[in-house]
Amino acid sequence: MTQFKYQCTECHREFQRDDVTYLCPDCSKTYAPGMPLRGVLQALFDYDYVRAHFNPHAPDWDLFSAVEQQFYPEFPVGNTPFFQSTRLGGQLGFTNLRLKNDGLNPSGSLKDRASFLIVAEAIRKGIDTIVTASTGNAASALAAVCAAAGKQAVIFVPESAPKPKLVQIMLSGARIIPVKGTYDDAFRLSLEYTNAKGGLNRNTAYHPLTIEGKKTVGLEIFQQNGLRAPDVILVPVGDGVIISGVYKAFYDLHQAGLIQKLPKLICVQAEASNAIHRYITTGIYANAAHPATIADSISVAIPSNAHMARRAVNNTGGFSLTVSDAEILDAQALLASITGIFAEPSAAATVAGLLKCKQEQLLKADAQIVLLITGHGLKDVDAPMGGMTLPEAVLSIDEC
């Protein structure tokens, strides 16, 4: 591990690692539930030290970690497949398309990366209870990592979350508190809970190490791509923490002198859950009024990390787009039928986004493009089931 400080992403005030836990105490004074978080912190490393100690022939990724390895839970995450898909690329008109299949994390989503680092931090601090609000995947990830570490997870989740995610949470022995309401209601209740009863709050972006945890997917893409940054990465966006984490990976690599250019980050949102998209395209922030979408993991009215997500897109020369539920379901079927990868709707949104990029000629055909597949399709089988009918059962091959 390298020394780091926290820095407020708004006022740039710096804090020693153990002098703050969640948000910048100054900037968060203007925060109230119902708006994106204010004063989100980021970990700034001693980049001169990283530059001096990182050996490309034997990369030590620990140099980029904000928690010492000795505190890591016994729950390996990451190291998910990264590979070229000539078939999907050919179908969409791109010659250099790669997939990062993060649905193959132990609990089935990229959220394992954030939960892993938060539980490591809880182990470092000797905290036994970890609390989160979630649309489902952050919860099932936290429940799983807590099970492996012998910690108690307390989870606020909308009662409407897909059943497989609820089952994962329950089986892992977490305390589940279904909320009558949306993810945004669960977010508010979980903050009230930790304020009143303690425990470490894992809410996305609220705890800065969620961004650091998700960052590891960007570091892995760099590593698996032969220590090179791709040209473009498409990211499905709900709260805007995955895209901020991917940005932070390449920011760190740039600061450490390992890359010259940041990949363009493309924010993909669902049409109805488009608060960050509108913020990026108009510069004006407003909550999404009714963020109803089949892509439950990116259904958010009040994205907690809207400000950082917008900077991630703007600072990389990227852009933002939205896709409809019908486009997401078509893309989910296309991905499965052409690559064999069954992704949950939120993850398949990137495929729909790339199709839109093709139609509107937003990207060069030979650019090196990465689709971030964030969650496994078995997380929510009801979504694609709606459009399917099983063939009649047979008794003999005469009927085949």
347: contact with ligand PLP by CB under 6 A: yes
**Given candidates 208, 213, 230, 236, which one binds ligand PLP under the rule CB under 6 A?**
236
The distance of closest approach from Cβ of residue 392 to ligand PLP in the complex, given in angstroms and rounded to an integer, is 34
**Secondary structure (3-state) at 12:** coil
Is the separation of the CB atoms in 39 and 31 below 8 Å?
Answer: yes
Give the binding-site size for ligand PLP (rule: CB under 6 A): 18
Closest CA to 115 of 73, 173, 80: 73
Task: Give residues with Cβ within 8 angstroms of 143, minimum separation 6.
Answer: 107, 153, 155, 168, 169, 172, 173, 174
Distance separating alpha carbons of residues 301 and 308, to the nearest angstrom: 16
- Residue 182 is a binding residue for ligand PLP (CB under 6 A): no
**Interaction pattern, residues 36-75, with ligand PLP; x per rule: CB under 6 A:** ----------------------------------------
Q: Which does 111 bind (CB under 5 to 8 A by kind): ligand PLP, Zn ion, none?
A: ligand PLP
What angle is formed at CA 325 by the lines to CA 319 and CA 331, rounded to 5 degrees? Answer: 75
Task: Give the nearer residue to Zn ion in terms of CB position, either 30 or 79.
Answer: 30
Q: Which residues of 128-152 are buried (b: 16+ CB within 10 A; e: fewer)?
A: ebbbbbbbbbbbbbbbbbbbebebe
Residues of span 144-163 touching ligand PLP by CB under 6 A: none
Please state the separation of Cα 119 from the chain's center in Å.
Answer: 17
48 binds Zn ion (CB under 5 A): no
Nearest to 133, CA basis, from 214, 200, 66, 188: 188
Of 9, 172, 201, 204, the one binding ligand PLP (CB under 6 A) is: 204
Nearer to ligand PLP, 36 or 199 (CB): 36
| Residues found near ligand PLP in the complex (CB under 6 A) | 109, 111, 137, 204, 236-242, 297-298, 344, 346-347, 374-375
Q: In the complex, which residues of this chain contact Zn ion (CB under 5 A)? A: 8, 10-11, 24, 26-27, 39
